[in-house]
Amino acid sequence: MKIINVSIILLFGIVFLGCCDCATKNTSEVGDTTKNPVNNNPAAIQTNKTVAMVEIVNIDVKSETEYSAKIEVNQIFVDDAYPSIAVEKSIYEVVPNFRIGENKEMLDNDVNLDLKNFSKKKPGDKVKVEFFLSDNKWILHRILN
């Protein structure tokens, strides 16, 4: 009789463990819905970039390399690779993004020359630019005209 009782308890234990294993296995096969469906890497942070035709509303120039400008976005040129968070008909204050060398000297290149020339623009001038939002300010990245 003791052998039968022990056998029944063992049988219930095996069945119980088998059911628990099945339930765990089934939930793991369903998968994690928080994973990126394209690959198993976490989602990357995308860079925002706006290419737009803008009108200069105001420009505050201390020097050709130190200035800020208020620009109104007239038209946005969409690029699916870089989402734009700027909005048409909105006004943004931008500061230039000069290219700097290893020794912290300003590089002598076309991008920097265009950014310097932007400081000479007047309110009402229309320019095609590329700008983006950094942590806390809008950066004028390059002039496209």
> Which one-letter DSSP state was computed for residue 49?
-
Mean per-residue pLDDT for 14-41? 50
33 pLDDT exceeds 50?
Answer: no
Mean per-residue pLDDT for 60-67? 97
> CA-CA distance, 73 to 131, in Å (whole number)?
11
Query: What's this model's pTM, rounded to 2 decimal places?
Result: 0.66
What is the pLDDT at residue 14? 66
32 pLDDT exceeds 50?
Answer: no
> CA-CA distance, 145 to 142, in Å (whole number)?
9
Mean per-residue pLDDT for 116-121? 98
**Is pLDDT larger for residue 40 or for residue 98?**
98
Poorest-pLDDT segment among 21-25, 62-66, 70-74, 110-114: 21-25
| Greatest alpha-carbon span in the chain | 103
Percent of the chain with pLDDT over 90: 61
> Which one-letter DSSP state was computed for residue 100?
B
